[in-house]
Amino acid sequence: MANVTIPVGQAVQQSAEAEADILKGIFAAHRLLAVNLVSSPGSGKTTLIEALIGALGGRKRIAVVEGDVETDIDAARIRRLGVQVHQIMTRSSCHIPPFMLREALGNLDLAAVDILIVENVGNLVCPAEIPLGEDVRVAALSVTEGDEKPLKYPLVFKTSRLLAVTKIDLLPYVRFDLDNVETAARTINPGVEIFRMSAVTGEGVAAFADRLAALHDRKIGQASP
Amino acid sequence: MHELGIAEELLRAILPQAERHGAKKVTRVTLRVGVLRAVVGENLSFLFGHVARGTIAEGAVLAIEADPVAVCCPACGLRTEADAIVLDCPGCGAGGIGLSGGDDLQIVDFDIDE
């Protein structure tokens, strides 16, 4: 009996990446922009999506996939706004795995969607590791969480193209230095685009919505921002 | 506990390859894990041992190599490695440093008994 070393050199999560590639193909076929929204619990993801639906209404057709460990509370909130929505209850999973998103897509009419927003489970570790074939990963960070978050959870901030700093209406009440968070985010991810906003006052929401609309335009070959 | 998912994916990746090579047993698996991955090696080893039970990888040793963050300082030209995110140059203290890497999660190789 001989002991032999087999060279591999492949990503551990290759099967997840292969599943994500299938999703990417589905998104491309439907010419929709897929957004994977990640953050810690309570950063205001659902409220941000509600505000984006308002800001993009009429320009882009939005659909939302909600991911939570339990309940369809978030989907009910989105449904009231009259857009397509499907709730994933992940149960034992702390993130949305690609196969669950693929199943969820079967419940949506993707031909009638321009921008698909996937609200991942609130968690700054696991969703960062698992690609969903998205065009854009957006990290949301609320000012109540502290400006050191990008240093504590670097992978999610490294892999996100856009960073939404939310709840800026609360800045007078918390110790949160916008410059610190932006320096940290840019050191980890030099290309990150940072948007400051408050879904409650509406400040900054239009600029963020415009960026998503422009990214969809570019994907389908209209204009090139 | 994200190590459980990683352990399962690791086993799923290795078993078919080991079988293709006619392995009777997988004795050791070498991983390269980025320091930004927030992977606790002890947890991953324990959970891999758990999920590998009853397979040819039962009892295999996990060897974990660290993939450090590469630091490059445009101010003083220092090039070095760090085992966590740093915002200022460890040499001259300047900000605006460049960071790269530290996010690998790769199977380097594994050893089998034929």
By DSSP bridging, strand A193-196 and strand A162-166 are parallel
Residues of A in contact with B107 (CB under 8 A): 8-12
> What is this model's ipTM?
0.86
What is the spatial distance between Cα A26 and Cα A24, in angstroms, rounded to a whole number? Answer: 5
Homologous superfamily assigned to A14-218: P-loop containing nucleotide triphosphate hydrolases (3.40.50.300)
Q: What is the mean pLDDT of chain A?
A: 95
Domains of chain B from N-terminus onward: 3-67+102-113 (3.30.2320.50)
Lowest mean pLDDT among A96-100, A214-218, A221-225, B69-73: A221-225
- Contacts of residue A167, defined as CB under 8 A and 6 or more positions apart, other chains included, come to A43, A44, A142, A143, A144, A198, A199, A200
Strand partners, B101: B69
A190 at interface of B, judged by CB pairs closer than 8 A:
yes
Residues of A in contact with B56 (CB under 8 A): none
What is the spatial distance between Cα A14 and Cα A8, in angstroms, rounded to a whole number? Answer: 12
Q: How far is CA A166 from the centre of its chain?
A: 14
Model pLDDT for residues A80-101, shown as the tens digit of each residue: 999 999 999 999 888 999 999 9
- Contacts of residue A121, defined as CB under 8 A and 6 or more positions apart, other chains included, come to A67, A68, A69, A90, A93, A94, A95, A96, A127
B31 at interface of A, judged by CB pairs closer than 8 A:
yes
Model pLDDT for residues B73-89, shown as the tens digit of each residue: 999 999 999 998 899 99
* Greater model confidence, A85 or A1: A85
- Contacts of residue A107, defined as CB under 8 A and 6 or more positions apart, other chains included, come to A86
Q: Which of B27, B96, B106 sits opposite A12 (nearest CB)?
A: B106
